[in-house]
Amino acid sequence: MSATSFVIPALPQPSIAVAGESKSFPVRRIWCVGRNYLEHIREMGNDERAPPFFFAKHADMIEPDGATIPYPPMTKDLHHEVELIVALKSGGLDIAPGQALDHVYGYAVGIDLTRRDLQQAARKKERPWEIGKSFDHSAPCGALQPAAKIGHPAKGRIWLSVNGAERQKGDLAELIWSVPEIIAKLSEQVRLGAGDIIMTGTPAGVAALSPGDRIECGVDGIGTLKVTIAEPE
């Protein structure tokens, strides 16, 4: 079915800035990997050998570098999770790991903001994680670096600080499931497409945020991202 006009105004296309380009990257879907760094799995008390699993955020939850993000509703335990973001220029179903990087447009640093108390309460009741993970402003993302310029980094420091004090640190070399493995595994579940982004999991050191906190994070060789947490809306 196609429509040429709509009964309410068509919605704006969510997008991510591209470093050094005036054009931006249109976002279709946001996928996130549940657990992907050993130290973080240990700090959360989870199984170190479980296969990767995925959850989603919505494209309009993206926030740009420099954003001021209101402290979200219903939580008393908002956590930061700094992550490598992979952006796809094409996709498919059942992508082989050996072909996976051909689908990557570029890389960025982002934060998987998490209402930890709500996530853990949902987990205890065997309910979906959605209430803990998928909320307004929950996916801040820095500018993309095209793979055509920087290649496909498999190592590099990933870090996050709050008010100038380091909270999270790791290295892309510590990813349990590599980017090609993540793309291959996720494409068994859904047909991936151009505009999809994947948040690839967080290293150890996740912790709570408060209104007024200034977050700075980055992945060496890819870029940085700064956001501020504000009072609730």
- Measured from the CB atom, is 81 or 196 closer to Mn ion? 81
Q: Least distance (Å) from Mn ion to the CB of residue 46?
A: 12
Distance (Å, whole) CA 174 – CA 158? 10
**Whose Cβ is closer to Mn ion: residue 102's or residue 171's?**
171
If residue 124 lies in a helix (H) or strand (E), which one and from where to where? Answer: helix 116-124
Whichever of 84 and 143 has its CB closer to Mn ion, that residue is 84
Residue with smallest beta-carbon separation from Mn ion = 112
Q: Residue 171, SS3?
A: strand
Question: Residue type at 15?
Answer: S
Q: How far is the CB of 88 from Mn ion (least distance, A)?
A: 18
Residues that bind Mn ion (CB under 5 A): 81, 112, 202
Q: Shortest gap between Cβ of 21 and Mn ion (angstroms)? A: 27
Q: Which is nearer to Mn ion, 63 or 112 (CB)?
A: 112
The least distance separating Mn ion from the CB of residue 4, rounded to whole angstroms, comes to 39
- The 3-state DSSP class for residue 139 equals strand
| Residue 70: its H or E element | strand 68-70
CA–CA separation, 192 and 184 (whole Å):
10
Distance of CA 89 to the CA centre of its chain: 17
**Smallest gap from residue 197 Cβ to Mn ion (A):** 13
Closest CB to Mn ion among residues 134, 187: 134
Sheet harboring 223-230: ordered strands across?
68-70, 223-230, 214-219, 157-162, 165-171
